[in-house]
């Protein structure tokens, strides 16, 4: 694994597009927007796909918000899973690496990238200054709602993240797709892998409960595989496909509802 400082480096030339991305994200990810997207998608009635077919479908997508890779999403899935496998982790963890970004299917349903990818944060309470580009929250309509601008906002202190509405994106969506199929540490990895203010800066601790604090160790364990497995040499999809198809057959249902 390479030096962490080479990653998430938003210097030119990537910075302009990443900055524009977060301007759109922070301006529009309001509490009402999140509630609307949850109502639209969490019924999981958009499409039914076999897990491997969903990964192939995702192969048409490149993540604009990510300064670290220009490879397709299937390559990112395989590279992440392979890095986890090489370190000898259990199969559920490898499956998690393979599947973790499949919520980006939202893009293929026509959602703009600012409503799919990028770092996530709680809505309905004050934004932590540890969020990337915090200045862009100045244009968010929730700024005009004082009840949403206190530390706890609409939440009880220590209520647990399960009660907290996160900015809408691929993490929360895929959590709902897989919530009945993977163990709790895997579900935390999936649901909070883009929640950088929490796992990088320990922000929003006042909303967490004991389970969150325990499970965030797993989120932190997953994060380096997501970040540092991004290498320019593509994984050998053809050679790896039989192993991963078999793995998915053993750990997930034949069809997943999206």
Binding residues for Fe ion, rule: CB under 5 A, are: 101, 226
Which of 109, 147 has the CB closer to Fe ion? 109
Give me the least distance between CB of 188 and Fe ion, in Å please: 14
Give me the least distance between CB of 74 and Fe ion, in Å please: 12
- Supply φ then ψ for residue 256, to 5 degrees: -115, 140
CB 200 within 8 A of CB 128: no
Which of 193, 251 has the CB closer to Fe ion? 193
Which of 101, 111 has the CB closer to Fe ion? 101
Which of 101, 142 has the CB closer to Fe ion? 101
Which of 171, 212 has the CB closer to Fe ion? 171
Give me the least distance between CB of 156 and Fe ion, in Å please: 29
Give me the least distance between CB of 247 and Fe ion, in Å please: 18
For 76-87, give one letter per residue: b (16+ CB within 10 A) or e.
bbbbbbbbbbee
Give me the least distance between CB of 216 and Fe ion, in Å please: 16
Give me the least distance between CB of 193 and Fe ion, in Å please: 5
Which of 142, 226 has the CB closer to Fe ion? 226
Which of 82, 226 has the CB closer to Fe ion? 226
Give me the least distance between CB of 103 and Fe ion, in Å please: 8
HEC profile of the chain: CCCHHHCCCCCCCHHHHHHHHHHHHHHHCCHHHHHHHHHHHCCCCCCEECHHHHHHHHCCCCCCCCCCCCCCHHHHHHHHHHHHHHCCCCHHHHHHHHHCCHHHHHHHCCCCHHHCCCCCCECCCCCCCCCCCHHHHHHCHHHHCHHHCCCCCCCCCCCCHHHCCECCCHHHHHHHHHCCCCCHHHHHHHHHCCCHHHHCCCCCHHHCCHHHHHHHHHHHHHHHHHHHCCCCCCCCHHHHHHHHHHHHHHHCCCCEEC
């Amino acid at each position: 694994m390479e030096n962490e400082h080479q990653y998430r480096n938003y210097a030119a030339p990537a910075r302009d597009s990443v900055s524009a991305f977060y301007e759109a994200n922070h301006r529009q990810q309001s509490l009402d927007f999140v509630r609307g997207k949850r109502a639209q998608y969490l019924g999981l009635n958009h499409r039914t796909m076999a897990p491997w077919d969903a990964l192939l479908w995702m192969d048409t997508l490149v993540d604009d918000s990510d300064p670290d890779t220009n490879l397709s999403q299937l390559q990112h899935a395989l590279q992440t899973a392979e890095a986890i496998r090489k370190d000898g982790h259990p199969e559920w963890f490898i499956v998690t690496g393979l599947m973790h970004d499949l919520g980006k299917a939202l893009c293929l349903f026509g959602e703009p990238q600012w409503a799919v990818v990028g770092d996530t944060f709680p809505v309905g309470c004050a934004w932590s200054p540890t969020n990337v580009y915090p200045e862009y929250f100045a244009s968010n309509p929730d700024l005009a709602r004082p009840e949403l601008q206190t530390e706890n906002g609409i939440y009880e202190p220590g209520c647990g993240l399960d009660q907290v509405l996160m900015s809408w994106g691929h993490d929360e969506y895929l959590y709902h797709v897989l919530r009945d199929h993977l163990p709790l540490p895997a579900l935390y990895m999936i649901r909070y892998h883009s929640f950088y203010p929490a796992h990088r800066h320990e922000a929003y601790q006042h909303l967490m409960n004991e389970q969150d604090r325990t499970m965030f160790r797993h989120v932190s364990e997953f994060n380096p595989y997501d970040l540092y497995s991004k290498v320019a040499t593509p994984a050998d999809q053809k050679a790896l496909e039989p192993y991963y198809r078999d793995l998915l057959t053993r750990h997930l249902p034949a069809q997943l509802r999206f």
